[in-house]
């Protein structure tokens, strides 16, 4: 197995064989937490170890973050933006090694690893501009000589729980916005990709040291769900932003709402592309292909269902089959390969189970899947992307299996297609391929897609950072990244000022004595 410069990347990023997994910035806090071993799904080798955060260390982090918030919020927002600008510069500098680490620790292709770092850079740029645009509205008061307006104040500590599939970008979406908003962050990365958090903290530390940023503005904690639970139940953390499975999101939502905190949830998707009889099939095949097999089917925006009009169904099926036969599966750091491994052997098991269920429920395969073994596949995490013909009603089609399995579903009318598209519990991303205005507008209307993201003539994955990212129903309702997603990271305050000499009451109420 070729190395592709991964050792150099680790050295450049300051990731060691053994790392302390708890940090408030300059300080790395030792704890009695267990040691987490990070094995690469690429070649099964141990990349490094991270010492998990125990309860005591977590409490120390919260104390430090709380202190930091008081200082950080004094710094004018555009000045905080300037620091985020420098982080964007640092990420540009470290794009290659960080992209490599993402690829090696998580298993996505190097191109996608670079793309993920690019998302971090983009959100930095976005946040810099935002730091001068944290605008509230002014309103006309119903009372004479009164003025009303609203303002957004920093909120406090933001807890971030991120998933293995976007080990660095999703942290950046949350953190860069939170920082310009005046918040401080505690990040718990996935225990499957802990080394990415060490690398990011090292990059941040350099920029923070140069700008004398107080200790506690950027904190990381590592560990499994237990440390996540501690974060969710801690009353000092007004917002917990969590990305991951629906099961995890329900637990986070319950615990955070129990103490009436805010939870921003970005959970599973079961995304579909509708290919109508009026679609440009070149675009459709390209969109479906990247959507289904990109990141080995492990994006929450992955295309899982293809809802195809009966008149073009056979052609779509044949062309997809051909496209799949040209896919190279293998080491994701080798740029010739399109599909890397799944994150671990548990994911392979879930993939195999899903294929089994497709058969049991009466589906058939257009492209047969299966796990790969032998030279180059020693980690046991590589699988073949599969395509199955199914009915939308199949139990397995209703579930999100984090693997490259694409379900083909035939439809007759656009109403039926939209019904299929919406007929699942999740509501993250959706797309229609058509050149027909009627079909397109119907899909985008209130009678159309019920998802947080609805695209025309592009696939379901690969959202730009400028839009609000997230979805409805079991996807959790949260919005991260662009548009006005920043508002959840701030405390909104309505202010009414009386500059007159009397005290008229609102709603015209008389209260004279």
Stretch that binds ligand UN1, among 231-239, 315-323, 459-467, 497-505 (CB under 6 A): 459-467
Residues 382 and 371: beta-carbon distance below 8 Å: yes
Using a 10 angstrom Cβ sphere, with 0-12 exposed, 13-18 middle and 19 or more buried, the burial of residue 507 is exposed
Selected from 19, 165, 255, 271, the binder of ligand UN1 by CB under 6 A is 165
Least Å distance between CB 424 and ligand UN1?
17
Selected from 65, 102, 300, 397, the binder of ligand UN1 by CB under 6 A is 300
Is 89 known to be catalytic?
A: no
**Residue whose C-beta lies closest to ligand UN1:** 463
The sign of the torsion formed by the CA atoms of 359, 363, 368, 373 equals negative
Residues 157 and 184: beta-carbon distance below 8 Å: yes
Q: Toward ligand UN1, which CB reaches closer, 126 or 411?
A: 126
Using CB under 6 A as the binding rule, whether residue 201 contacts ligand UN1 is answered as no
Using CB under 6 A as the binding rule, whether residue 243 contacts ligand UN1 is answered as yes
Strand partners, 430: 272, 454
Using CB under 6 A as the binding rule, whether residue 205 contacts ligand UN1 is answered as no
Q: Toward ligand UN1, which CB reaches closer, 87 or 428?
A: 428
Using CB under 6 A as the binding rule, whether residue 152 contacts ligand UN1 is answered as no
Contacts of 403 (CB under 8 A, 6+ apart): 296, 297, 298, 342, 347, 348, 350, 351, 354, 383
Q: Toward ligand UN1, which CB reaches closer, 243 or 434?
A: 243
Stretch that binds ligand UN1, among 46-54, 93-101, 432-440, 460-468 (CB under 6 A): 460-468
β-strands 426-427, 472-473 pairing: antiparallel
Extract the tokens encoding 324.
């799949």
Q: Toward ligand UN1, which CB reaches closer, 64 or 116?
A: 116
What DSSP designation does 134 have? -
Contacts of 413 (CB under 8 A, 6+ apart): none
Selected from 49, 60, 108, 299, the binder of ligand UN1 by CB under 6 A is 299
Q: Phi, psi (5° rounding) for residue 184?
A: -115, 155
Using CB under 6 A as the binding rule, whether residue 52 contacts ligand UN1 is answered as no
Residues 53 and 83: beta-carbon distance below 8 Å: no
Q: Toward ligand UN1, which CB reaches closer, 283 or 458?
A: 458
Least Å distance between CB 442 and ligand UN1?
24
Least Å distance between CB 435 and ligand UN1?
24
Determine which one of 64, 119, 191, 266 is catalytic. 266
Using CB under 6 A as the binding rule, whether residue 181 contacts ligand UN1 is answered as no
Using CB under 6 A as the binding rule, whether residue 463 contacts ligand UN1 is answered as yes
Least Å distance between CB 309 and ligand UN1?
25
Stretch that binds ligand UN1, among 84-92, 152-160, 322-330, 455-463 (CB under 6 A): 455-463
**Cβ neighbour number for residue 472 with a 10 Å cutoff:** 16
Is 266 known to be catalytic?
A: yes
- The label of the residue with tokens 């991964």 reads 6
Instruction: Write out the DSSP string of 47-84.
Output: EEEEEPP-HHHHHHHHHHHHHHHHHHTTS-HHHHHHHH
β-strands 46-51, 18-20 pairing: parallel
Selected from 201, 461, 475, 485, the binder of ligand UN1 by CB under 6 A is 461
Residues 307 and 417: beta-carbon distance below 8 Å: yes
SS3 449: coil
Extract the tokens encoding 177.
């916005």
Least Å distance between CB 485 and ligand UN1?
13
Using CB under 6 A as the binding rule, whether residue 401 contacts ligand UN1 is answered as no
Residues 229 and 188: beta-carbon distance below 8 Å: no
Q: What part of residues 111-150 is at the interface with ligand UN1 (CB under 6 A)?
A: 119
Binding site for ligand UN1 (CB under 6 A): 119, 165-166, 170, 243, 299-301, 461-463
| Residues known to be catalytic | 266, 300
């Amino acid at each position: 197995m070729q190395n592709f410069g991964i050792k150099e990347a680790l050295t450049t990023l300051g990731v060691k064989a053994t790392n302390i997994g708890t940090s408030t910035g300059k300080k790395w806090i030792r704890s009695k937490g267990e040691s987490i071993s990070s094995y690469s799904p690429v070649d099964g080798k141990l990349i490094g170890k991270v010492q998990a955060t125990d309860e005591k260390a977590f409490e120390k982090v919260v104390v430090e973050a709380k202190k930091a918030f008081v200082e950080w919020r004094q710094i004018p927002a555009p000045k905080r933006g300037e620091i985020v600008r420098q982080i964007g510069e640092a990420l540009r500098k470290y794009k290659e090694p960080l992209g490599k680490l993402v690829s090696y620790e998580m298993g996505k292709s190097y191109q996608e690893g670079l793309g993920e770092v690019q998302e971090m850079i983009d959100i930095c740029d976005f946040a810099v501009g935002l730091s001068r645009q944290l605008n509230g509205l002014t309103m006309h008061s119903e009372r004479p000589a009164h003025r009303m307006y609203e303002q957004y104040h920093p909120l406090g500590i933001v807890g971030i729980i991120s998933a293995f599939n976007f080990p660095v970008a999703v942290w950046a979406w949350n953190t860069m916005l939170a920082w310009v908003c005046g918040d401080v962050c505690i990040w718990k990365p996935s225990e499957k990709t802990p080394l990415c958090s060490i690398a990011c903290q090292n990059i941040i530390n350099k920029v923070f040291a140069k700008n004398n940023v107080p200790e506690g503005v950027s904190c990381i904690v590592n560990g499994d769900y237990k440390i996540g639970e501690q974060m969710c139940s801690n009353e000092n953390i007004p917002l917990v932003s969590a990305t991951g499975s629906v099961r995890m999101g329900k637990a986070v939502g319950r615990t955070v709402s129990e103490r009436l905190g805010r939870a921003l949830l970005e959970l599973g998707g079961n995304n579909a592309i509708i290919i109508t009889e009026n679609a440009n099939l070149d675009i459709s095949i390209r969109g479906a292909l990247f959507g289904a097999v990109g990141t080995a089917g492990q994006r929450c925006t992955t295309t899982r269902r293809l809802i195809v009009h009966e008149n073009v169904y056979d052609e779509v099926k044949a062309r997809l089959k051909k496209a799949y036969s040209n896919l190279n599966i293998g080491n994701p750091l080798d740029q010739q390969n399109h599909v890397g491994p799944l994150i671990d052997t548990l994911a392979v098991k879930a993939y195999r189970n899903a294929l089994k269920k497709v058969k049991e429920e009466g589906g058939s395969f257009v492209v047969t899947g299966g796990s790969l073994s032998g030279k180059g596949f020693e980690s046991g995490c590589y699988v073949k992307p599969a395509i199955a013909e199914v009915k939308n009603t199949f139990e397995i089609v209703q579930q999100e299996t984090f693997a490259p399995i694409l379900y083909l579903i035939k439809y007759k009318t656009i109403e039926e297609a939209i019904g299929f598209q919406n007929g699942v519990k999740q509501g993250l991303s959706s797309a229609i391929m058509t050149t027909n205005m009627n079909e397109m507008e119907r899909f985008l209307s209130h009678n159309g897609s019920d998802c947080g993201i609805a695209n025309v003539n592009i696939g379901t994955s690969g959202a730009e950072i400028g839009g609000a990212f997230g979805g409805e129903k079991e996807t959790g309702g949260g919005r991260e990244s662009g548009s006005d997603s920043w508002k959840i990271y701030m405390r909104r305050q309505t202010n009414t000022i009386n500059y007159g000499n009397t005290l008229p009451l609102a709603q015209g109420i008389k209260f004279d004595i």
